[in-house]
Chain A
């Protein structure tokens, strides 16, 4: 076991029931891997898609070998990883309940589920601890070392957050830019970074990630640092799901965080 799980919380947006939470987190201390996924609101069975993606990653982290899907080999790796999950998703849908749907609904059903995804694995290579990470979309990872944020991945500034992030699809669709069938919109980002004992790895879906980056970018952060109001210090104070809800709702009321499902995973490297 190369890390301890310090926090693992996921909540639906306020005034929505928990079963409408489209985020999913999976983590395995034993396998030293973790992931978060955000099912896109308004896409078909996106919650199930996000859960399948995260559960599958813990079983099979081969996705981390992918670095550039414009390369045929990497695209094949992505398909090899995704296709069995897409099949599971397809088999899990009670399609008979959606027969005789209107054209508007048929189009929606045929579009399938969509989700952002961020996965990582801690490993030891040549005696050095490394972190391999893979991301599609705006679920983000932060690495904190010696009370400093040393990495934001894949997004590094608040302007990169858009209303339509890159996504993994539960059904292949025509990519208009390449005129080829694809299971992904946009690009994947991946990297490998050296890590150290006591580093903190923070993985979060877009609401928390965006707040985190906004806070990093805000001018007051330097003066406020000693008051424990940098983003990671606030997150480290969260001890349970109740704390997490209070934190998210407070930020929302202060208009510092977008209203959305919210997920937070904090790992401490051993």
Chain B
């Protein structure tokens, strides 16, 4: 039975993220309360990493049950088109285990809005919104610059995952999640490398490639996640291409989604199309279920 390998320190699983950091990521995300796409993506992935490490804390140690990498594509301060966006990791090194990831965290204090109940002075209660400081752990370097060299990002991911799968044949297959807000550079064929990645495998199954295409504030397109392989079509050629680049969601992950009261069709594809803020969170929550 594929996608059932035990995830353990001896046989860790790999999560990889490709993050579109092109200039357009500075725009606001649909349903995101006026927050930039680049920030929402970085915040989500930071939160995912912190939760993942936390769930693997054992006493004073951290169990190295997962390996992690995250690549940005756009343009960094050194004019690189593809680069590490993960604190503590450089691209020519193997992915980080959880202990190393934890040691690379940067703690930041952010102000969080909370609703407090207070006496209204007349025997009743009023709700007041106030801000309280909160510590969050961060790893992802948020940025937005340059165009969208998606092919180069998939090519780099191919090399990383190919190397990793050769060394971890007994592991749960890697999951690669690509987050983008639109068209890749003209003439590029990221689908070729996405296919090559999907053809990589461990003894437990093929590598899974999930793509999420996030929508900008004001978008009138419907937000769709995990569409059916047989039903989905989009007039947007890039959406259609990302759909084709995405793996089917295996039964084992669909079963995990059901436990979260989220049922997926049998031929569901790991693709989110024009997703708004809520669906973005939902999509990644399901896509990363094997880590829960």
Contact = CB atoms under 8 A, between A and B. Distances in A.
B93 interface: no
Contacts of B126: none
B60 interface: yes
Contact of B135 (A20, A48, A94, A102): A102
Interface residues of chain A: helix, strand, loop or mixed (majority): loop
A14 B8 contact: yes
A180 interface: no
Nearest to B51: A104
Given A102-B107, A102-B136, A108 B57 contact: yes
Contacts of A100: 107, 135
Nearest to B110: A103
Interface residues of B, number: 24
A158 B134 CA distance: 44
Interface in B6-63: 6, 8-11, 47, 50-51, 54-60, 63
A15 interface: yes
Given A102-B135, A103-B135, A108 B9 contact: no
Nearest to A103: B134
Given A15-B11, A97-B60, A104 B54 contact: yes
Interface in B100-128: 107, 112
B167 interface: no
B47 A104 contact: yes
Contacts of B137: 102, 104-105
A163 interface: yes
A44 B57 contact: yes
Interface residues of chain B: helix, strand, loop or mixed (majority): mixed
User: Which among A13, A103, A104, A108 has the greatest number of chain B C-beta atoms within 10 A?
Assistant: A104
Contact of B6 (A15, A97, A101): A15
Interface in B168-191: none
B47 A15 contact: no
A161 B59 CA distance: 27
Task: Using C-beta atoms within 8 Å of the partner chain, give the interface range for chain A.
Answer: 20 to 34
A105 B9 contact: no
A128 interface: no
Interface in A163-201: 163
A201 to B, nearest CB: 30
Nearest to A16: B8
A47 B134 CA distance: 29
Interface in A48-102: 48, 94, 97, 100-102
A21 to B, nearest CB: 10
B54 A105 contact: yes
A17 interface: yes
B6 A13 contact: yes
A20 B63 contact: yes
Interface string A9-36: 0000111110010000000000000000
Given A102-B137, A108-B54, 4 more contacts: A14-B8, A42-B55, A97-B60, A100-B135
27 contacts: A14-B6, A14-B8, A15-B6, A15-B8, A15-B9, A15-B10, A15-B11, A16-B10, A17-B9, A20-B9, A20-B58, A42-B55, A42-B56, A44-B57, A45-B59, A48-B59, A94-B60, A100-B135, A102-B107, A102-B135, A102-B137, A104-B50, A104-B54, A104-B136, A105-B137, A108-B57, A163-B259
